[in-house]
Amino acid sequence: MKVLMFGWEFPPHISGGLGTACYGLVKGLAHHKQDIIFVVPKLWGDEEPLADFVNASDVTIDYRERRFKKFWKNLTYLEVSSFLVPYLGPEQFKKYTDASMHDRTDVAESVFSNKFEFSGKYGKDLMMEVSRYALVAAQIAKDKEFDIIHAHDWLSFPAGIAAKEISGKPLIAHVHATEFDRSGETVNQVVYDIERAGMHAADHVLAVSQLTKNIIVKKYGVPASKVTVVHNAVLDASIIKSHYEKKVPEKIVTFLGRITFQKGPEYFVEAAKKVIERDPNVRFVMAGNGDLLNRMVDRVAELRMGTKFHFTGFLKGDDVDHMYAISDVYVMPSVSEPFGISPLEAVRHNTPVIISKQSGVAEVLNNAIKVDFWDIDSMADAIFALLHYDGISRMFKDLGTKELKKLKWEHVAAKLVKVYSNTLSQKP
């Protein structure tokens, strides 16, 4: 089976979980002998050769061909005046403009040029790039041979729709996060509309958790029978024997992720205060960047925890492994987490984890302490127990190690191949 897959990023150049999940899926599908054409807005040249990669920036668009005219006429060109980050929680943007519908006869030649140079980033021109990516997708779908289309998250949904319209091949829409996860109830209508259009245009929808499936059904009006839950996994289930050593005598408790509403950083800070009041010989680390960072720094100062609370900024690569390795407890207090791969990575480093009940990973990681994100007393109690009772900590480490072996991308990919086959068999 040949799959035309659209994503927005691929390792090693990623901003978070979306790129990691795409990598895991592609590697798992390769294990099952599936052929993947993976399209990204921009390739950097150092991607692992797991698929037939297509750099959207290198695709020439023959936009005067008649068969594209109807598609271009219905394409909405959007302009956004600030920044978005998909899946990890976007920084709020204040305004956007939805320009009039474009026909190739009423737009400047510069808008629909023969070739587009994509930044591959999440800046102020993101919506323009999403629209142009859809045009490129139509050209790729016309030129390539494939059986099915797979689009990852809202950034790639217009591309998936375009490819389906041009080729007539079935579309799988993979939802890694929804606008309700990123922004709570104050959703951005444009992003919501793109998500909804992608899910309804798709022949089948994949959700990374039952939690996400419930949102898709309730908030987007997609029939439950059209949605399959496919949980994320880990690239390697073996426990990492790290050579990193702590340079401080205190125990270390870590939060690693985007410092945004979705991730619940304020609850981590408040729980930290309660733990330090009981035991001052603990250090807390908040690793990451985001729109709530300055507020968290101010709150830590207000609570007089500055000597016990550290902000590292965004970490990647070896620095992430280093942070997991020296941590005694990992906490993910997300308000709404579609899945959450980071606790699985913490378990790989033999670090016990505390996760919110409002996370998709709670559906597959049974041997972790689970608390409501807002219950800072329970969170503080759990942190204190794991730090001070070696028997409890050792139990969760041992059980987590055994559980991790079941969470492999090859298993996820096997389920995905069945979804592909069932979808193709239902196509008239």
What is the pLDDT at residue 17?
Answer: 76
The per-residue pLDDT for 122 is 66
Q: What is the pLDDT of residues 259-291, one digit of tens each?
A: 988 899 999 999 999 999 999 999 999 999 988
Q: What percent of the chain stands above pLDDT 90?
A: 53
Convert the pLDDT of each residue in 369-410 to its tens digit. 999 999 999 999 999 999 999 888 888 888 877 888 888 899
pLDDT above 50: residue 160: yes
Three-state secondary structure call for residue 369: strand
Q: What is the pLDDT of residue 241?
A: 74
Q: What is the pLDDT of residue 280?
A: 95
How far apart are alpha carbons 370 and 359 in whole angstroms?
9
Q: Tell me which of 234 and 150 has the higher pLDDT.
A: 150
Closest residue by Cα to residue 299 from 329, 276, 333, 265? 265
Residues of the chain with pLDDT > 70, as a percent, come to: 85
Class of domain 251-404: alpha beta
Average pLDDT over residues 348-368: 91
> Mean of the pLDDT values across residues 153-167?
93
Residue extents of the structural domains in the chain: 2-233+409-426, 251-404
DSSP string covering 219-249, please? HH---GGGEEE----BS--SPP------SSS
Q: Structure pTM?
A: 0.82
> Closest Cα to residue 345, out of 208, 212, 232?
232
Give the pLDDT mean for 229-245: 81
What is the rounded CA–CA span in Å between residue 8 and residue 40?
Answer: 5
Q: Tell me if domain 2-233+409-426 and domain 251-404 are identical in fold.
A: yes
Mean pLDDT (the chain, rounded)? 84
Query: Could you tell me the two tokens for 306?
Result: 């500055």
CATH number of 2-233+409-426: 3.40.50.2000
Alpha helices in 221-365 (DSSP H): 265-278, 293-302, 318-326, 342-348
CB 359 within 8 A of CB 319: no
Query: Do residues 207 and 228 lie in contact, with contact meaning Cβ atoms separated by under 8 Å?
Result: yes
In this prediction, residue 174 has a pLDDT band, given cuts at 50, 70 and 90, of very high
Confidence of residue 62 (pLDDT cuts 50, 70, 90): low
Find the mean pLDDT for residues 191-208.
Answer: 96
Count the residues in the chain. Answer: 428
pLDDT for the residue 91: 38
Res 84 pLDDT > 50: no
Least confident range from 185-189, 197-201, 253-257, 409-413: namely: 185-189
Closest CA to 266 of 231, 301, 228, 292: 292
Give the neighbor-by-neighbor strand order of the sheet with 171-175: 52-55, 35-40, 2-6, 148-152, 171-175, 204-207, 227-229
